[in-house]
Structure 1
Amino acid sequence: MNKITQLFSLLIPAFLFISVFASPSDAIFFQTGDSLVIPKEKIINETAAISGSSLTINSNINGDLFCAGQSIVINGNIKGDVICVGQNIKVNGTVDGNIRAAGQTIEIFGQVTRNLSVASQQLVLGPKSQIKGDVFFGVQNVELGGVIGRDLAGAGESITLTGSLLRNAVVTGTNLSIIETGKIGGNLDYYMEKTATASIDEKNVKGNILRHDIVAPSKPALDRQMAGLTSTAIILKTIFGILSFGLLGLAIVYFDRKNTKRKISSIINKPLVTGFIGLAVLITAPLAFIIILATVVGIPLAFIVMFVYIIALITASLYPSAIYGKLFFEKILQKTKTSLYSQMFLGVILLGLVSIIPVIGWIIAFASFCMGLGASLVSMLPEKTEA
């Protein structure tokens, strides 16, 4: 029965992982190669994942498109989202969804029915392009033609608007130009350094135009501000981390008390052994993931293994924390009858505070982490039964 329970504890996370990343039709069209051309005659009725050095996608896709390559051209119509990473990306077809892209140069000449989000060196919206939703960008050089149906928000060094924006714009840049053909139907808020200039004609903006000057603080003042912010951020981060980790520990005790006790027992009985096992797992697990991934056939197994490994990394320090909490109750507070919940929560607080101490605290935290990771692996092994 224990083996069946452990098997389901692995299969359930794996099922959730696959459910998140799989398409609703439970099918994925996958193709990779050096230079790929997907012909127009081929209709893809599922999520498509395509990669290669040079990609030309002429077919229509009734699902999401995930693509990666050096040069990507999308001529077909996509009834779903497009998520692409590449050096040069050009979209000539219609995308009935969102586009999220990152690359060196991204060009949009077709129609996008929802939002466009881009991170690149150059973004070009062609004169006949149409983005019906919002446009978000972080780009060095931006040329905005065509029609943008909602709002525009982003930052870039050079921003040029030659097309029409139906609503509001909030941008940050060094050079901002609205050409004679450019129109903004709402308000324009732009952020620039005090010495920078913008080329804007009021007749091209229907709403209000508001400039926000960016004033860089002097170095001493900036250093003081950063020092104060850093100290506050560290304190808040520590408090939030300890509390959230403590709540995670309580949840694990509630939902998996038996395995939690088993892992704690493994650490108490053989702390050195579990510590060395954890260190070995920490080093070898990523290598095992890469080896399994390289077999292609084992790709699903590789992601399941990595998923379980990540969960083990997140929860590893909880089990030694429960031991520290128990010792504190028994040795310091002289309380022998305490619940596993209180031991876990107090232990997380103690380990969190100790881990802040330079060198010694770091060593204790790392040793605790390794023991917890080793205990997690040991708990997956079948229990020894006496004959």
Structure 2
Amino acid sequence: MKESDGARAPGQEYRWALPSVLLGDGEEGRPVKRSTRDWIVDTLMFALACVLTLLTLPEISQVPEPLQATEQVLGALACASLWLRRRWPVTLALALTVLSTGLVLVGGASAVAMFTVAVHRPFRISAPVALANIVTLFPFAYFRPTPDLGFWGTFVLGASIVTALFAWGLMVRARRQLVWSLRVQADTAAEQAKHLERERIAREMHDVLAHRLSILSLHAGALEFRPDAKPAEIARAAAAIRESAHHALQDLRGVIGVLRHSAGDDDVPDRPQPTLADVSTLVAEGRQAGMDVALILPDQEGVPDALGRNAYRIVQEALTNARKHAAGAPVTVRVSGGPGDGLTVEVRNPVGVRLGPRIPGAGAGLIGLTERAELSGGRLEHGPRPDGDFLVKAWLPWTT
């Protein structure tokens, strides 16, 4: 990818930059910034090429002295040219491959250049370069055979070295690709975790605030429809409104606190979560706000916290919907079940009964409850029944 390809999101830019950092991929001739590690590796590669050149120096003793001097100069230049191997890897490898056809002292630098191409370029580019190295071994083995090995021995030895270096380069590249892939997967998993956490916080904010604000609306509606109420009743209603607003602010502050911590900290302090035992408190708040709520709740002992929390949220949202759409109607909350059978939550209220103004809603509460139930392995159904009631019924698994 070119730098001029347009603006990208921070995460996307990071993922696209990773292959260049790990694999060194880039355009031929493009300037490359070396890190400290790159300088160390380049120095070692230069030193390795120099050592290989010195080891092959005795093999030029059979050629005339002028040719020996020329080959020594070209061998030194070939080693020095390896400092360009990151910027022009393919060009340098092909040039050294051509020189190594008839020059012994260029072989070490040519091997390093070919290895560089295998690491820094994809297989479709590095394979032809390696094949060119093997092809040039034919004239080299013909004109400069090793006395002890002959033509075929020299060719097989050179081809084996080229193949081994090429395979080593492919392994290094594959490992770097694996590291890049694991990093991308880790980044993706982290982004998904953040997204799921934001969704959880959004659901909780909806559940909590919708419940509190609907109670507040009921108290305010009572004051609106009874302007001639006694001062003591008005004072009690105002106190209830103040208390509901105070609880709403506390809940909002707690949820936002979790949201702020989750943006930068690894250990997110979570708010105290409700359990099945808190359903009684929830119903009591509704009764205090003027709702007619009947509660049938079994013994809460042994109910897992996660199961109780899901049941609480379902009752909370169902009561909120009842206050919004059927204010003044009697509501029945029934919780039943046990280990192995699962926990069944039913909230029922008559349809079409509403005293006072309708509280607006976004319509996302029941969708969120359905998702909550399905994520826990259960199911939820809602809608009007033949007997004229509106029913919210959920079944949640309760493993033994």
Category of TM-score, reference length = shorter chain: under 0.3
- TM-score norm. by structure 2 comes to 0.21
The structure with more strand, counted as a fraction of residues: 1
The structure with more helix, counted as a fraction of residues: 2
Which of 1 and 2 has greater Rg?
Answer: 2
- TM-score norm. by structure 1 comes to 0.22
